[in-house]
Each structure stands twice: as structure tokens, then as C-alpha cells.
Amino acid sequence: MDAVIDIALLAFLGITALAILRLRNLFAVVMLSGIYSLLCALLYTTLDAVDVAFTEAAVGAGISTVLLLAALSLVGHEERKPVRRPVLPLFVVLVTGGMLVYGTSDMPPFGQPDNPAHLHVAPRYVEESGHEVGPPNIVTSVLASYRGYDTMGETTVIFTAVVGVLLLLHRGKGTRRPGSPKRAPDTGADESEAARGDDEAHG
């Protein structure tokens, strides 16, 4: 039964990815990327990674979708039709895909308990984390205690992201100040002003 769910979810993921590739309406693309994240969360649950599924559903389907929609409202909804045939990208993708498939043929079979990934430090975490650290959730005890330094680095990475976004977007030319009219006043000469005339056309 698990195998059927696995195969069905992976097939849906493939269809969604192809639809993201083909669609030119960016609003639909963003919605499909949210669906893609939710399908991945389902897949992670069947693969026993429940913490990851939770995070993927919250972050991927929640925050990513909101940020993409916020950016779309500032940037425009339609993708332009591609002008030339993408022969070189297709070739690169096929060669890379072929090499990866050739590489995965050497990988250990899926799901066997004596795979190398389960042999070295993982049994120690599974067996000892109960008395050494305490919480029943082994992922939390590894994340917060055994590998706590990495988690501090990860927290710093998100902080760096907010610093980057604020440097780029805080109080800039287009910012609406509370109480001011909706059109932001121009603060100076801008050579791309003429080019902006034609993004008035909404999809």
C-alpha cells in the first residue's frame, strides 16, 4: 500500500512540475508551486520524516507562496513568450540527468536497514538520545542538543536574510508611507521611466 501512495504522489509531483514549466500565467505558477510543496509534505510523511513534512507545509506552502504573491503584485503577472528554441538548455539538462541516473544506479536499495546511511552515528542517536538528552522526539534532540551549533548557524542565516531584504526594500523609492496618497512621489530623474509606461497593461 505504501508503494502505491509513493508512486501516485511522485507521479503527481511530475505532472505539477511540468505544468509549472509550461504555464505562462505567473499567478497560476505560484499556486502550483504551493501545491508542489504540499505534495512534497505528503511524501515526506509517508517517508517517516514528520518534522520535515510539517516544516515544508508551513514554510513551503505558506511563507513561500505569500512572498511570491507579494512580489508578483509588484512585478507583473505574465511571462513573455520565449523567442528562441532552447536547444542548449535541453541538451545540458539531458546530459546532467543521464549522468545522475547513471550515478544513482550505484546507490543502495531503498529502505533496507543495513544501508550505510543507517550504520555509523545514527544508531547512537537513536539509542542514546533517550537517556543522554531526554525528549522523545529524536529529531529535536539532535537539532537542539547534539547539533546545536549548526542550528545556531541556521538561525543566523535567516537573520542575514532579513538584513538583506531590509537593505534592499526598506523605505525606498516606492514605499507607501501611512497617510500618504497611494502613488509614491518620484524622487528624481529616472531613465527607465519611459519603459515603465507599458507595464500598465494588466493580464
Partner 1 sequence: MDDRVVLRVGAKILIPFILLFALYVQFHGDYGPGGGFQAGVIFAAAFILYALVYGLENAQRVLPTWVTHTCSAVGVMIYAGTGVVALLKGGAFLDYGALLHDAHHAQHWGIFSVEFGVLVTVFGVMVSIFYAFAGRGRVES
Partner 2 sequence: MKLLGHYNYWIVVVLMMIGFYIMISRGNLVKKLVGLSVFQTSMMILYISMGKIFGGTPPILLEGGEDVVYSNPLPSVLILTAIVVGVATLAVGLALVVRIKEAYGTVEEDEIHAQDDVM
The full length of the chain comes to 203
Distance of alpha carbon 121 from alpha carbon 130, whole angstroms: 15
Distance of alpha carbon 19 from alpha carbon 31, whole angstroms: 11
3-state SS assignment for residue 78: strand
127, with CB counted inside 10 A (0-12, 13-18, 19+), is exposed
Distance of alpha carbon 128 from alpha carbon 134, whole angstroms: 9
112 lines the binding site for partner 2 (CB under 8 A): yes
C-beta of 7: minimal distance to partner 1 in Å? Answer: 25
82, with CB counted inside 10 A (0-12, 13-18, 19+), is exposed
**C-beta closer to partner 1: residue 6 or 62:** 62
145 lines the binding site for partner 2 (CB under 8 A): no
Q: Are 3 and 26 in contact (CB under 8 A)?
A: no
Q: C-alpha cell of 113?
A: 536497514
Q: Which of residues 153-192 bind partner 1 (CB under 8 A)?
A: 155-156, 158-159, 161-162, 165-166, 169-170, 172-176, 178, 182-184
Q: Which of residues 32-51 bind partner 1 (CB under 8 A)?
A: 50-51
Q: Are 14 and 43 in contact (CB under 8 A)?
A: no
90 lines the binding site for partner 1 (CB under 8 A): no
51 lines the binding site for partner 2 (CB under 8 A): yes
Q: Which of residues 2-31 bind partner 2 (CB under 8 A)?
A: 3, 6-7, 10-11, 13-14, 17-18, 20-21, 26, 29-30
Whose cell is 534532540? That residue is 141
189 lines the binding site for partner 2 (CB under 8 A): no
Q: 52-91 mask for partner 2 (x: CB under 8 A)?
A: x--xx--xx--xx--xx-xxx-xxx--xx-xx--x--xx-
| Interacting residues toward partner 1 by CB under 8 A | 50-51, 53-55, 58-59, 62-63, 66-67, 70-71, 73-74, 132-137, 139-141, 143-145, 148-149, 151-152, 155-156, 158-159, 161-162, 165-166, 169-170, 172-176, 178, 182-184, 193, 196-197, 200
